[in-house]
Chain A
Amino acid sequence: MKKHISAFFLAVCFTITSWAGSGNLLQPDPQIRLSGEVFTFSIYAEGSQYLNDEWFPGTVRFFTGEEVSGQSLKYNGFLDELIWLSPGFIQVQLDKHMIRSFTIKNPHTEVEYHFENITFRPWMENTRVNIFAQSLYREGISLMVYHRIRNAGQTTENVRGTIVSRGKLVPDPVYYILLPNGEARILRNFSRRSFLRVFPDHKDQIKRVFRQHGLRIRTRGDAVQAMPLINQVVSPGEL
C-alpha cells in the first residue's frame, strides 16, 4: 500500500511541477536549479543508509536566499548527504556547500523534518564539523539532531559460493546543544544530568527551573520541552 501511495505521490509531484511551469501567467517558473554530482554510491549492508527510504517531497533553500520546492528528496544519514531525484530520474547528491537548509515531509504521516546545514566546533576541540542536522528547537541555544547512520559491524556470508562481507547499518542519532557562538555540545542521553553536564556553570539554576516546572527528562520530547527553560536561565553572553 505504501508503495502505491508513493508512486501516486511521485506522479502528483510531477503533475504539479509541469503545471507550475506552464500555467503561471504572471511570472514564469523561477530558474533556480539544484546542482550536484550523479549519485552512484552503494553499500552492501543490512539496514538502510537513508533516514527516509522513500522519496519525500521537500524544499531546498540555498545560501543565496533562493529556494526550490516540490522536489523528491532523501536524506542519506550514512554519508550525511542530501539526495535528489532529478526530472530525468537521475539520483543526484546535491552540492552540500550550497544548501543552507532543507525540509522534507513524510506524505503518510505529514511529519515535517527541517534540516539545517550547520558548521560547529565540538566542545574542547579545534576542528570544525559540518553536518545536516534536524532542528528540534531553534533559538539562542538550540537542540539539533544529527541523524547519523553508522556501520555497526561486518558479517560475512556465503553468497552462491563466494564469501562476502556485509555491513550492518543502524540509526545512531546524535543530539547536539548548539550555542550561539557556534560551539556544539553533545547531549549524551535524555536525562537531567546530561543537561547539567552541558552547562556546568548553571547547574543550580537549571536544577531549580526544572524542579519548578516538574520536568523530568526521559525522552526527546522532554528534551525539547527543556530548551525554553534553558534559554531562560542561560544567557548567551555567559557562555
Chain B
Amino acid sequence: MKTNITLLLFCLLLAPFAGNASPGQATALPTERMLLLTDRDVYVAGDMLLYSARLFNSSDRASTTSRFAYISLRGKEIIAQQAIELDNGYSHGSMFLPDTLSTGYYELTAFTNWMRNEGETIYFRRQILVVNRFDKDFANISPRIVPDSEAVLSFFPEGQQFVTGAESRLLVVASGAYDASYRNFVVIDQLQDTLVAGRLNAGGFAELSLTPVNGNSYYLLMEGSSRRFQLPQAKPSGMGLTVKQQNQLLLANIINAGETSDISLELFRQGRIVERKSLRAVNGNNQVQFDLSSINEGLIALRVSEKGRQTGIRWFYFSKPTSMPSVLSNESFRRRDKVGIQIQPGDVPIAQMSATVVKAELASYRPVHMLSYKAILDLHAATGQDLQSLIRIYGNLDHDQINSRIISETSIPEFNIPVLSGNHTYAMEVSRQLVSGTVTNMETGQPAANTRLLLNTPDTVINLMYTQTNQEGYFQFILTPYYNNKELFVIADPTSTSGRLTINLHDKFRFSKPAENKPFPGIWHNRNAMSKSQEVANINKAYQINWMTDSQVPPTLYFPPPRLFSRPNMRILPELFEPLDDLREIARELIHPWRIRQSGAKHVHSLVCATTKAMLPGTPMLFVDGVAVFDIDDVMHLGSRQIKEVQVHNLNWVHGEMEIPGLIGIFTNTQEFEKISYSHSFLREFHEAPVHPKRFLAPVYTSMNDHVSGRPDLRETLYWNPDVVIRRNGTAQLEFYTGDLSGDYLIKIEGITADNQVFSITKPLTVVQ
C-alpha cells in the first residue's frame, strides 16, 4: 500500500512539469496569410461585392489550418464585417455595399484569429473604389494633381551596375504623388538623338534596354512633364549583370567593362547559398548558367562578388516551366449570346478553380491575383517589406513583369521565414470560433488571475460553459455553433474572485492602422466608365434587379446547447396556481425543496436534496432565462405574472470541476433577464455567425422571347463562379450568357493544381452590339 501511495505521489509531482510547454516558449509555429480576390476593383454603392478567400501558410502553400477568417470593409469607420468559414482553406462570399456610401476608397481587410498574433501588418489589405450613384465629381478619388516638377523617376540598372560597352537593362520607376501611369517616354542622349521609346505601365514603371557609350549622358523625357530626367552615368569599368530564365536554366550574362577579373557568383534561395560558381570574367560578355531543376519554385537571388566584395545582386522569381491550365474561348460575342469557355488542365490536374468575367475597365486598377500573391509573400519574407506596399506594387503583375519590377530590389539575400514566437495571445480557430478577452480588477487595475468566467446565452434551457483566467487575466471560450447569432453573457463567478471586475473582449475588428486611401493610378482616364456604371446601377435599382440568391444548401439552424443537466427534477408552472407576488412566496407555496429566508437585509436560499432529503451544502445556482444570477435579491421581485416556468434540479451536482449544490432555472414571459440590474461583473456581447455564401445566378436566354424581353440585363460582372465543377477528365466548361452591355470584359480564371501550384489566367472577351 505504501509503495502504491509513493508511486502515485511521484507521478502526481511530475504532472505539473508536463504542462510546462506553455505559451512563452519559442516554438516554430505555423504562420498564415490570407488572399482575398474580388470580382472587380470599382463598384457603385448598392452593388454586391463578390469575393473568394484563400489561406496560405508560411511556405506560400495553400493552408488548411484555420477554419474561420474575418473580412471587413472600412473607410474611416467599419462599413461591413463578416466571419466566414473556410473549407480546406478556401471560401467565398458576398458583401453588400450600402447605397449610402460616399464616393471614395475603401479597404478590404482579411485575416484569421491566428494572424492577429503577428499584427495588422500581415493582414491582407487591398483597396476598392466605391462610387456613389449620385456623385458626378470624381476629383476627390483621382490622384492629386501635382506639378510635374514633383515627378520622381528612379532608375535601377539590372544587377546594380550600369556599364558601358554592352546592352544593359534599366528599370524606370515613377514614385511620389505625381501620377506617371500610362505616360509615354523617350530616352535621348546629349545630342538629342532618340535612342529608346516606351510607355510606363499602370504601376508607373517600365523596362528599357540601352547600350551606353562611354562619356555619353542620357535623359528621359516623359509625356506631360517638361523635366528631363537624367539616367545614371554608365561606368567605363565594372560588372554588369543580366539574367533570364530558359526552362529549368537561369542564364546569367556578366558584362565586364574592365579588365579580366576573377569573380564569384552565388545563387541564394531562402537565405541559403544553393550554388556557387567561380569565373574568370574577360572584357565583354561572360555567360554562366545555373541548373534550377532541383530548386523549389520561388524567389532566388544571384550575387556577384569580385575579390570578396559584392558588386551586384539580382533578385529573380523562378517558376517551374510546368504546363499550366489553358482557357479556350472565342473572343467576340453578341448581346445575350451564349458563351462557352473550355478549361483544359496542364500537366497536373486542377484541384480547385474560380472564374469571373467582368467589365475590363472596372477590374484593372489594383487587382491582385494568386500567382503574384505567391511572389509577394516570398518577397515579404525575403526583404521584410510591408505586405500592403508589395501588394500595391506587384499585385497585378505577371511572371515577366514581376521579374522586371524586382530589379529595384537590392537588399542582401536574407530570407526571414516567418516564425511565430511563443508570445501569442490568439489561438488558432481550427474547428470552432473563439472569443477571448481579459479580466482586470476595477480597483487595482491588475489582471484578475484564476477567475472563473461563465458563458450563458438567453434561452429556454439552462446552458453553461465556463473557463478560468490565467495569470495575465486572459481567457478564451471555444464557441459551439449554438452561440451563432446569439447574445453572450460573460459573467465573472463571484465565488471564485472578490471585488468588482472589468471584463474586456478582444474585438477582432478593432484596427490600429487606418484604412489606406491611395488613389488608383490612371483612374482619371476611366471616369466615363464610372459614369456608365452609375447609370447601370440606377437602372438596376429601378428594376430591382439582383443577381444574388440564397445557397442551395440551407444553413443548419439548430445546434444543441451545452446543457448543465438533461432534465430537471421538478418543473413548476406558477401561472396554474393562485398569483404569488415574489420568489419567496413561490418557493414557500409551490416549490417545497426550495428554501428562501431573510438574513439581515439580504435573502439567502438553499435546496433540499431529492435523493438524500438533506439540505444541500451551499447556495444553489440560479438562472433567469438561461442567464446566471448570483444574488437572489436581484430577482426576488419576480412573481407569478412574470414567471412562466421554474425548473428545479435539487441534486448535489458536478459539472466538470464545478460542484453545484442544486440548480434553479426561472423562465419568464417578459424577458426579465433584460431588466435585471445584475450585482455581479458581467459583459454582454452579440456573437455574429459566419455568413452563409450566396449564389450568383446569371440569367439564361434560351428562347427568342428571352432575347427581346423588356427587362434589362446590365450585368457588369457577367459571370462569377467561385467553385467551378471539374469534370472527371479534368476539364471544366463554363457556360453563361452575355448581357446588354457591350464592351471589353476580362475572363479571370484562378485556381490551384493538385500539386498545390497556383495559376492565374486572364483572357479578353468582347461583347459587340
Q: Mark B1-21, 1 if CB is under 8 A from A, else 0.
A: 001110110111011101111
Contact of B8 among A11, A28, A35, A66 (CB under 8 A): A11
Question: Nearest-CB distance from B169 to chain A (Å)?
Answer: 46
Whether B330 sits at the interface, judged by CB under 8 Å, is: no
> B residues within 8 A CB of A23?
18-22
The answer for the CA separation of A97 and B565 in the assembled complex, in Å, is 9
The answer for the CA separation of A35 and B427 in the assembled complex, in Å, is 27
Known interface pairs A11-B12, A35-B564. Does A22 touch B654 (Cβ–Cβ under 8 Å)?
no
* Cβ–Cβ contact B428 & A37, under 8 A: no
* Cβ–Cβ contact A15 & B477, under 8 A: no
* Cβ–Cβ contact A14 & B15, under 8 A: yes
Whether A139 sits at the interface, judged by CB under 8 Å, is: no
Chain B's closest residue to A95 (CB) is B566
> A residues within 8 A CB of B434?
27-28
Contact of A15 among B15, B21, B611, B652 (CB under 8 A): B15
Interface residues of B in 629-665 (CB under 8 A from A): 651-659
Whether A237 sits at the interface, judged by CB under 8 Å, is: no
Whether A10 sits at the interface, judged by CB under 8 Å, is: yes
Interface residues of B in 446-476 (CB under 8 A from A): 465-467, 476
Whether A36 sits at the interface, judged by CB under 8 Å, is: yes
Interface residues of B in 8-55 (CB under 8 A from A): 8, 10-12, 14-16, 18-23, 27, 29
Known interface pairs A11-B15, A32-B562, A97-B567. Does A88 touch B7 (Cβ–Cβ under 8 Å)?
no
Q: Mark A5-28, 1 if CB is under 8 A from B, else 0.
A: 001101110111011011101111
Interface residues of B in 642-691 (CB under 8 A from A): 651-659
* Cβ–Cβ contact A22 & B21, under 8 A: yes
* Cβ–Cβ contact B427 & A98, under 8 A: no
> A residues within 8 A CB of B20?
22-23
Whether B431 sits at the interface, judged by CB under 8 Å, is: yes
> B residues within 8 A CB of A66?
480
Whether A31 sits at the interface, judged by CB under 8 Å, is: yes
> B residues within 8 A CB of A32?
562
Interface residues of B in 708-749 (CB under 8 A from A): none
* Cβ–Cβ contact A11 & B7, under 8 A: yes
> B residues within 8 A CB of A36?
653-654
Whether B424 sits at the interface, judged by CB under 8 Å, is: yes
Question: Nearest-CB distance from B198 to chain A (Å)?
Answer: 51
Whether A178 sits at the interface, judged by CB under 8 Å, is: no
Whether B152 sits at the interface, judged by CB under 8 Å, is: no
Whether A87 sits at the interface, judged by CB under 8 Å, is: yes
Question: Nearest-CB distance from B111 to chain A (Å)?
Answer: 16
Contact of B14 among A15, A21, A64 (CB under 8 A): A15
> B residues within 8 A CB of A90?
654, 659
Give the number of residues in B that approach A within 8 Å (Cβ atoms): 56
> B residues within 8 A CB of A65?
560
Whether B548 sits at the interface, judged by CB under 8 Å, is: no
* Cβ–Cβ contact A7 & B654, under 8 A: no
Chain B's closest residue to A40 (CB) is B612
* Cβ–Cβ contact A25 & B27, under 8 A: yes
Question: Nearest-CB distance from A86 to chain B (Å)?
Answer: 6
* Cβ–Cβ contact B611 & A37, under 8 A: yes
Chain B's closest residue to A65 (CB) is B560
* Cβ–Cβ contact A35 & B19, under 8 A: no
Whether A92 sits at the interface, judged by CB under 8 Å, is: yes
Whether A160 sits at the interface, judged by CB under 8 Å, is: no
* Cβ–Cβ contact A88 & B8, under 8 A: no
* Cβ–Cβ contact A18 & B15, under 8 A: yes
Whether A63 sits at the interface, judged by CB under 8 Å, is: yes
* Cβ–Cβ contact A35 & B22, under 8 A: no
Chain B's closest residue to A30 (CB) is B478
Whether A118 sits at the interface, judged by CB under 8 Å, is: no
Question: Nearest-CB distance from A27 to chain B (Å)?
Answer: 5
The answer for the CA separation of A21 and B427 in the assembled complex, in Å, is 13
Whether B697 sits at the interface, judged by CB under 8 Å, is: no
* Cβ–Cβ contact B18 & A19, under 8 A: yes
* Cβ–Cβ contact B564 & A31, under 8 A: no
Whether A38 sits at the interface, judged by CB under 8 Å, is: yes
Whether A224 sits at the interface, judged by CB under 8 Å, is: no
> A residues within 8 A CB of B4?
3-4, 7
Chain B's closest residue to A87 (CB) is B657
Chain B's closest residue to A17 (CB) is B15
Known interface pairs A98-B563, A98-B566. Does A25 touch B657 (Cβ–Cβ under 8 Å)?
no
The answer for the CA separation of A66 and B652 in the assembled complex, in Å, is 24
Interface residues of A in 25-49 (CB under 8 A from B): 25-28, 30-38, 40
Task: Count chain A CB atoms within 10 A of each CB in B5, B20, B566, B653 and give the residue with the most.
Answer: B566
Known interface pairs A31-B478, A37-B611, A90-B659. Does A14 touch B11 (Cβ–Cβ under 8 Å)?
yes
The answer for the CA separation of A182 and B659 in the assembled complex, in Å, is 37
The answer for the CA separation of A67 and B711 in the assembled complex, in Å, is 55
* Cβ–Cβ contact B19 & A27, under 8 A: no
* Cβ–Cβ contact A27 & B430, under 8 A: yes
Question: Nearest-CB distance from A162 to chain B (Å)?
Answer: 24
Question: Nearest-CB distance from B360 to chain A (Å)?
Answer: 43
Known interface pairs A18-B18, A21-B19, A63-B560. Does A33 touch B655 (Cβ–Cβ under 8 Å)?
yes
Chain A's closest residue to B3 (CB) is A4
> B residues within 8 A CB of A38?
651-654, 659
* Cβ–Cβ contact B429 & A86, under 8 A: no
* Cβ–Cβ contact A22 & B22, under 8 A: yes
Task: Count chain A CB atoms within 10 A of each CB in B11, B424, B428, B611 and give the residue with the most.
Answer: B11
* Cβ–Cβ contact A37 & B652, under 8 A: yes
Task: Count chain A CB atoms within 10 A of each CB in B19, B114, B653 and give the residue with the most.
Answer: B19
Known interface pairs A19-B21, A23-B19. Does A37 touch B564 (Cβ–Cβ under 8 Å)?
no
Known interface pairs A23-B22, A28-B427. Does A8 touch B654 (Cβ–Cβ under 8 Å)?
no
Q: Mark B548-585, 1 if CB is under 8 A from A, else 0.
A: 00000000000111111111000000000000000000
Interface residues of A in 135-170 (CB under 8 A from B): none
The answer for the CA separation of A191 and B670 in the assembled complex, in Å, is 63
The answer for the CA separation of A118 and B521 in the assembled complex, in Å, is 68
> B residues within 8 A CB of A25?
21, 23, 27, 29, 422, 424, 427
Contact of A27 among B478, B653, B656 (CB under 8 A): B478
Chain A's closest residue to B420 (CB) is A25
Question: Nearest-CB distance from B28 to chain A (Å)?
Answer: 11
* Cβ–Cβ contact A31 & B565, under 8 A: no
Chain B's closest residue to A6 (CB) is B4
> A residues within 8 A CB of B29?
25-26
> B residues within 8 A CB of A35?
563-565, 653-656
The answer for the CA separation of A88 and B655 in the assembled complex, in Å, is 11
* Cβ–Cβ contact B8 & A27, under 8 A: no
Q: Mark A83-126, 1 if CB is under 8 A from B, else 0.
A: 00011101010011110000000000000000000000000000
> A residues within 8 A CB of B19?
18-19, 21-23
> A residues within 8 A CB of B567?
97
The answer for the CA separation of A36 and B10 in the assembled complex, in Å, is 30
* Cβ–Cβ contact B651 & A37, under 8 A: yes
* Cβ–Cβ contact B654 & A92, under 8 A: yes
Task: Count chain B CB atoms within 10 A of each CB in A23, A25, A65, A92 and give the residue with the most.
Answer: A25
Chain B's closest residue to A68 (CB) is B656
* Cβ–Cβ contact B428 & A4, under 8 A: no
Question: Nearest-CB distance from A13 to chain B (Å)?
Answer: 10
Chain A's closest residue to B10 (CB) is A11
> B residues within 8 A CB of A97?
566-567
> B residues within 8 A CB of A3?
4
The answer for the CA separation of A19 and B20 in the assembled complex, in Å, is 7
> A residues within 8 A CB of B427?
25-28
The answer for the CA separation of A117 and B488 in the assembled complex, in Å, is 32
The answer for the CA separation of A31 and B658 in the assembled complex, in Å, is 13
* Cβ–Cβ contact A8 & B11, under 8 A: yes
* Cβ–Cβ contact B560 & A64, under 8 A: yes
Other than A11-B15, A26-B430, A34-B655, give 5 A-B pairs with Cβ distance below 8 A.
A27-B431, A35-B654, A37-B611, A87-B657, A98-B563
11 A-B residue pairs with Cβ-Cβ distance under 8 Å, sorted by A, are A4-B3, A19-B18, A23-B21, A25-B29, A26-B65, A26-B114, A27-B428, A30-B478, A37-B652, A66-B480, A95-B565
Closest 6 CB pairs of A and B: A11-B11, A33-B656, A97-B566, A23-B21, A64-B560, A22-B19
